[in-house]
Amino acid sequence: MLALFKKRDAAPVASQTASQTGASAHPDAASTDAGVQALAQTLQRDTSGLGLEAAQLRGTLEDSAAVAERQVGTLTELVHQAQQIGQAQQHIHSETQLSQQALQRARDSVEHVGSEVTGVVSTLHQVSEAARQITQVALQTRLVAFNASVEAKRAGDAGLGFGVVADAVKDLSTQVESISKAIMGTVATLDQRIQSLAADLSTTSEVPEGQGVGQVGGKAGKGKPDSGRRVHQALLGVEAAVQRIVSAAESSAQLSSGINQQVSRMAQEVQQTRDVLGTATRRSEAVLGVSERLMELIATCGVETSDTPYIHMAQQVAGQIAHALGEALAQGRISQAQLFDEHYQALSGSQPPQHTSAFNALSDALFPGFQEAALKALPQVVFCIAADRNGYISTHNRAYCQPQRPGDVVWNTAHSRWRRIFNDRTGLASARNTRPFLLQTYRRDMGGGNFVLLKEASAPIEVAGRHWGGLRLAYRF
């Protein structure tokens, strides 16, 4: 193929020689030249089509890899959360076991209180009996005092003193009897309350007859079947509820364990998918590189193709910018340290990130004149920009040098492309290329999931014998 292209270069020389000797050109020369031209154009179209498909494939693989990457992150977070749920469930299980132990202690305490209540009941029996005996003694004392008072009256004046004492004893016995009865009434009321408490604390269904203490002048109280075991029943209900919590926590823990295992497997599978996509992306990049080398090979063989005007334009503008920068350097408008500055300063709050550099003012003054003219020089040109060696775009085309809108990343990505570093595969390759030109095919990210397929011709920019960067001329195809 290369031999055919070289024959095409030799054809004009043979034609010129034939005309000088008065002979006509060989008829095969014209047909060979036309055939080579047609072949070159066909190859150029085919390689462009291959580059287009390769760029689309690579972009699709990159998108899929990005989705897989996000899925890996999401599933990893899910695994972490599932582990936290398992830990929480284990904590619930431990706490419910402690609750069961506390309930058992409470039941033991209630039974202990019940036994103490029995002791209180026994003591109240003794108090009631003592009050009853005091009442009997008071009655007898009052009867004796009454008899003594009668005998004192019979004795006349000799019994006056004795009568006074008898009356005092009678009054005192009356008071003692009243107090004893009050004590017995109070004990009876307390007895009823204690019986109610005993019924609540009892482990049997009812309180047996005859256990009451207020039995003076009446029958003993009888326990109500409904009132027994209320505290114990309440504790048993709480214990049953806690047991249900334990069972639910155990079931939930088993379910969470299964979910955790499934999510872990999904994470591993997505990780494998991401790795496979990474391999496929690298292979698609190799295919894209082959198509780009074929396009470059055809362009360097002296055959005019549809890419040739764009290559020449990129080289022309690169030379103009290099000359302008060289003059600015010679005139002292900027120092070499400033022109080749790579200490980019991030602009706070910018999204996507923007940076400043020491040569911003100079590029804003020089670049637009050359870059804007190139946009109108050829059809289908999308942008023409100069990038330094790191892919930093100090000054973009005017349409893309809009101030950023706070919080609007999609709009900023599409319209505020200046002061940004494009160090992706295409951007860095164009910026660091030192060959006469470079042809590439790629997807341009316009933000919000929007992409444009472009072809790009780039040429190096050299200033004062140093490689400053490259001129990037992108166009549709």
- pLDDT for 180 equals 76
- pLDDT for 313 equals 97
- Nearest CA to 230 out of 110, 116, 118 is that of 110
- pLDDT for 206 equals 47
CATH of domain 54-286: 1.10.287.950
What is the third-level CATH fold of 308-475? Beta-Lactamase (3.30.450)
- What does pTM read for this prediction? 0.53
The dihedral of CA 290, 292, 293, 299: what is its sign? positive
The token pair that represents 136 in the structure block: 């009997």
Are the C-beta atoms of residues 177 and 139 closer than 8 Å to each other?
yes
Per-residue pLDDT of the chain (477 residues; tens, 9 = 90+): 434 333 333 333 333 333 343 444 455 656 666 666 666 666 656 565 555 566 665 666 666 666 666 666 776 776 677 677 777 767 777 777 777 777 777 777 777 776 777 777 777 777 777 777 787 777 777 777 777 777 777 777 666 676 777 777 777 778 777 887 788 788 778 777 777 777 666 655 444 444 444 444 444 444 444 444 666 677 777 777 777 777 777 777 777 777 777 777 776 777 777 676 667 666 656 555 666 666 666 666 667 788 889 999 999 999 999 999 999 999 999 999 999 999 999 999 999 999 999 999 999 999 999 999 999 999 999 999 999 999 999 999 999 999 999 999 999 999 999 999 999 888 999 999 999 999 888 887 766 667 788 889 999 999 999 999 999 999 987
420 DSSP β-pair partners? 393
The span from the CA of 456 to the CA of 167, in Å, is 135
- Nearest CA to 310 out of 454, 451, 445, 453 is that of 454
Q: Burial, 289: exposed, middle or buried (Cβ in 10 Å; 0-12, 13-18, 19+)?
A: middle
The span from the CA of 30 to the CA of 141, in Å, is 161
The span from the CA of 322 to the CA of 435, in Å, is 15
The span from the CA of 268 to the CA of 72, in Å, is 8
- pLDDT for 7 equals 38
Domain boundaries along the sequence of the chain: 54-286, 308-475
